[in-house]
Structure 1
Amino acid sequence: MKNFALIGAAGYIAPRHMKAIKDTGHDLVCALDKNDSVGIIDSYFPNASFFTEFERFDRFVDKWHREKDKKIEYVAIATPNYLHDSHIRFALRNGAHAICEKPLVLNPHNIDQLKIIEEESGKKVYNILQLRLHDSIIALKEKISQELASTPNKIYDIDLTYLTSRGQWYFTSWKGDATKSGEIATNIGVHFFDMLSWIFGPIEENIVHLKQADTNAGFMKLKNANVRWFLSVNYDYIPEEVKASGKRTFRSILVDGKELEFSEGFTELHTMSYKHILEGGGFGLEEARNSINIVSTIRRLEPLGLKGEYHPFAYKVLH
């Protein structure tokens, strides 16, 4: 049984980490969050120590392994994006591996620094890139790999559309602060960009057509794909037929005009990610680099408007 700590216990994604730790047969020793609405811990680890102040959490972690002659082997990190880098450093300095939510960090230079600390500490940084473990995505990668083996210069046409409605709270929270979330493309798009570049190759061109607080859209040329993408938290942009069904989320990936079906199978991906890591796999710093490069560049680019290969939804917004 491995011992875990969790930083960021009150957020939306934290229960998936608690469930993953429990489902893989391990123990949560302690957790930290500045907010104390963390009753969900009782469903998984009622005996876990809980802290709202980092200093007391830091002291506990240090004292615990000294007094009990045990180790906290892993620190799970589910905090706001801009804090990931600092909390990963905390884990490594305390002799633990880090398992961090996406985006791993906000900028590529953070990865370079973390590589140095990895080498100093002898511990690893793992990123939750759960789409790489989704059955439908794995099947698509295998299909594309086979096709590219015979026609290596083939270029696929991809339309990525992801709308996940958020209320007014979103813009009051850290997620609405671009300096903390990294903007929409980073916050809700990074794992899709990771998945697409994992399958279709590294990015060669990156263009932004639309950049608003609630919506980003653009075009990227990957080695073997042209990708038009649209990401938004605005309910108004969801197709009317989807609204009529009562849904507040719309997710679509078209590959050469054919819909990739991956609407199911998301609930267990964190547990699968933990199993993958604990069995000697996992996705590390270098696996995360490509998607961090992509979203970091998007953040710096000026939007072009309706020029070139823009996503059809961008037309709806700007026209």
Structure 2
Amino acid sequence: MTRKLRMGMIGGGIGSFIGDVHRKAAAIDGMIDLVCGAFSSDAEKSKQSGKALFLNDDRCYTDFKEMILTEKQLPEDKRMDFVAIVTPNHMHFEPAKMALENGFHVVCDKPMTLTLDEALELEAILKRTGKLFALTHNYTGHPMVKQAKALITNGDLGKIRKIQVQYLQGWLSTSVEKTGQKQASWRIDPKRSGIGGALGDIGTHAENLVEYITGLKIDEIAADLGVFGEDRVLDDDGNLLLRMENGAKGTMSISQIALGEENNLAIKVYGEKGSLEWHQENPNQLITHWLENPVKVFTPNGNDLYPEAINVSRIPAGHPEGYLEAFATIYKNFATHLMAVKNNKTIENPDYPTVNDGVRGMQFIYAAVASNQDNSTWTKIK
């Protein structure tokens, strides 16, 4: 291709945290331009948001249906190539379905849908339409996460035996939703969040990180979920035991009421020949221990990195890369794949989360809720 990809956005209007993150991440590698949007369910707010982003008035739409149908009628050299969906969970499925069925590729925030049935239907639509779909499990975009995955894929750690993962936050330690805090209000509401609270918001990140790094599926879980916030009905805390498909054992701890924690996502993986650990709050270090060699700490642009890590390290060694850059990696790899498709080329095993990861995330949520309701009984993820 001789041009940038054109992106439309659904959601992410004035005051949105995640919409701004998506826009910045999409722009980092210079492959994507935002050209249109339906930024709010409030028509006037949507128009104001588009104006604030310096979009042409005729590309600022009152709702996503108008945007998709109007963009479809535009000449091919003007209309959007794909849409980014950055709404609360209950507003993922309908616009994704409509976009795909009208010929547009999709990038969607996680969890993929409100319900498992929606996730399975979306998977079927992707198979039917042949369009591309990226799910923004952004933490898989870190160079040191890529390095961790490559170490395991290439057998450096040997057979995996044990996994520990945690995702701890403290921002829901008090009833902030009762103060009108927008991010909290929809996340504690089953009608907008789904059957999982912390499970859907951060648990799916932990689940995806485990399966991405190890290349192993979680086979069974035993979940003990907690609801500590006053008048809440969805989980805001949980501890889970994991059984992996290769026989490895694991633990997962998630919480949004862990007072003092900010965004403490961390994973440790133990194999027969070595182990590794990675902490999201210190993302540029991957610490490894070896049966017969000294401790080794990998850093972006350091020595002995696999190509998967080198390819997403953007800046010189010693300069920190973080949240936005990891998010940008999802967009970069998706954009690279989409450009290849438009040039009638094939990319084997494109490296970004897809609809399959979205289905796994919803299956994880449903299995955890079912296990918790049955006194933490071992439950298959299926």
Within the candidate set 3, 9, 27, 2:12 is matched to 9
* Correspondences of 1:112-127 after superposition (within 5 Å): 112-127=120-135
| Distance in structure 1 (CA, Å) of the matches to 2:79 and 2:55 | 20
Q: Which moved more, 1:166-175 or 1:177-186?
A: 166-175
Would the alpha carbon gap of residues 100 and 172 (structure 1) be closer, same or farther in structure 2, given more than 3 Å must change? closer
Would the alpha carbon gap of residues 180 and 216 (structure 1) be closer, same or farther in structure 2, given more than 3 Å must change? farther
Q: Deviations over 1:6-38 (max 9, x none)?
A: 111233210122123333342322233125389
Paired residue for 2:280? Answer: 262
Paired residue for 1:315? Answer: none
> SS state of the match for residue 3, structure 1?
strand
1:104 to partner: Cα distance: 1.3
2:205 is the counterpart of 1:191: yes
1:121 to partner: Cα distance: 3.3
| Distance in structure 1 (CA, Å) of the matches to 2:88 and 2:68 | 21
- TM-score with structure 2 setting the length: 0.67
1:217 to partner: Cα distance: 2.1
Would the alpha carbon gap of residues 271 and 304 (structure 1) be closer, same or farther in structure 2, given more than 3 Å must change? same
Q: Deviations over 1:95-152 (max 9, x none)?
A: 2101101111244433332233234434222211222221121222222334477x43
1:261 to partner: Cα distance: 3.2
Paired residue for 1:31? Answer: 38
1:270 to partner: Cα distance: 2.2
2:30 is the counterpart of 1:22: no
| Distance in structure 2 (CA, Å) of the matches to 1:87 and 1:37 | 16
CA contact (8 A) 1:92 1:118 kept: yes
1:60 to partner: Cα distance: 4.4
| Distance in structure 2 (CA, Å) of the matches to 1:226 and 1:177 | 33
| Distance in structure 1 (CA, Å) of the matches to 2:133 and 2:377 | 40
1:306 to partner: Cα distance: 9.3
| Distance in structure 1 (CA, Å) of the matches to 2:255 and 2:46 | 28
Q: Deviations over 1:65-121 (max 9, x none)?
A: 425553321010011112211121121122210110111124443333223323443
Output the amino acid matched with 1:180.
R
Task: Please list every run of 5 or more consecutive structure 1 residues that lacks an aligned counterpart in the other structure.
Answer: 309-319
Q: Which moved more, 1:204-213 or 1:39-48?
A: 39-48
More helix by share: 1
2:136 is the counterpart of 1:128: yes
> SS state of the match for residue 279, structure 2?
coil
Paired residue for 1:143? Answer: 151
Within the candidate set 208, 211, 233, 2:226 is matched to 211
Would the alpha carbon gap of residues 233 and 279 (structure 1) be closer, same or farther in structure 2, given more than 3 Å must change? same
Would the alpha carbon gap of residues 45 and 164 (structure 1) be closer, same or farther in structure 2, given more than 3 Å must change? farther
- TM-score with structure 1 setting the length: 0.79
Paired residue for 1:317? Answer: none
1:307 to partner: Cα distance: 10
* Correspondences of 1:82-93 after superposition (within 5 Å): 82-93=90-101
CA contact (8 A) 2:105 2:131 kept: yes
Task: Please list every run of 5 or more consecutive structure 2 residues that lacks an aligned counterpart in the other structure.
Answer: 228-234, 284-321, 338-349
Output the amino acid matched with 2:371.
L
Q: Deviations over 1:150-178 (max 9, x none)?
A: x43x4114142422413333686111113
Q: Deviations over 1:155-213 (max 9, x none)?
A: 11414242241333368611111342132111122122011022331112211123314
CA contact (8 A) 1:219 1:227 kept: yes
| Distance in structure 2 (CA, Å) of the matches to 1:87 and 1:122 | 17
Identity of aligned residues (%): 20
| Distance in structure 2 (CA, Å) of the matches to 1:198 and 1:252 | 14
* Count of aligned pairs: 294
